[in-house]
A = this chain, B = another copy of it.
Amino acid sequence: MASPRAADLADALASMRRQQPLTHCLTNIVAAPWTANVLLAAGAAPAMVDNAHEAAGFTQVASAVLVNLGTPYDDTSAAMRVAASAAAEHGTPWVLDPVAVGGLPWRTELAAELLDARPAVVRGNASEVLALGGGGGGRGVDSTDDPAAAMDAARALAGEHGCVVAVSGPVDHLTDGDTIVRVANGHEWLTRVTGVGCALGALMAAYAGSVDDRLTAAVAATAHLTVAADVAAETTRGPGSFAVSLLDELAILMPRTLAERVRLS
């Protein structure tokens, strides 16, 4: 498919809000509350079901699934495995957010295993995407690499696993293995609020649950979050008030404003 245009993103936003996709999140103890609030503000319906007794079954009810490796434990990683497999089996689109892979061997193995369950989207920073592709690894959740430097690895990963790979950074880079889309919105304060990247992965799942084209879904989620951040930063004075305003703007943002302000290339 061709690269999504601004009008496609506006349509995706309207469609996502209309459908209120039930977004099944298996995520970490740091980002879980913020992720749920971002999804609710944006217009989706979050549900965190992350025990192995229920996680597989719930993927059949959900519109989309997020698997985020921020704080995996033995029990929740077992839930992640069965949820990813069940999502693949039932055709429920799911997003893999391989937080801090590379430097941490246990979760790096887990991420490699999860990749076999065919995620619709993989979202990470440049270090994480390089590590998934067999390269290095950062010092935790921070990226020590630039998104542009990870795009060869991202395209290879996308091609090999048939997924979209989204590389977050000052300019977000997304690829389906062929096309590369860049979104140049966002603000430095996004790096001073915990769980913004994690919430972006969840928002990509929400969009993937309501829009057919995966690249459009991932780009629309990125544009929704980063344009809302641009607006929020205009009237706030630090990371605390910015985070509050970001939730307001995620809820208020009109599709037309999204199309006008998004900086695609």
Contacts and interface: CB of A to CB of B under 8 A. Distances in A.
Given A36-B30, A54-B106, A142-B45, A247 B240 contact: yes
A58 B252 CA distance: 41
Contact of A48 (B28, B41, B193, B252): B28
Contacts of A72: 51
A250 B240 CA distance: 9
Contact of A75 (B61, B74, B245): B74
A164 to B, nearest CB: 26
Contact of A192 (B41, B70, B243): B41
A29 B48 contact: yes
B33 A195 contact: yes
Given A104-B54, A106-B51, A139-B22, A240 B41 contact: yes
**Count of this chain's copies in the oligomeric assembly:** 3
7 contacts: A29-B29, A36-B195, A37-B193, A40-B193, A41-B192, A41-B238, A241-B244
Contacts of A71: 48-51
Interface residues of A, number: 63
Contacts of A239: 37, 40-41, 247-248, 251
A227 B158 CA distance: 49
A244 B243 CA distance: 9
A206 to B, nearest CB: 14
Contact of A238 (B29, B33, B73, B249): B249
A47 B141 contact: yes
Nearest to A36: B194
A245 B241 contact: yes
Contact of A248 (B75, B106, B238, B251): B238
Nearest to A107: B54
A254 interface: no
B240 A248 contact: yes
A22 B191 CA distance: 14
A228 to B, nearest CB: 10
Q: Which of A57, A241, A244 has the most CB of B within 10 A?
A: A244
B74 A51 contact: yes
Q: Which of A28, A48, A252 has the most CB of B within 10 A?
A: A48
Interface in A128-153: 139-142
A72 B51 CA distance: 7
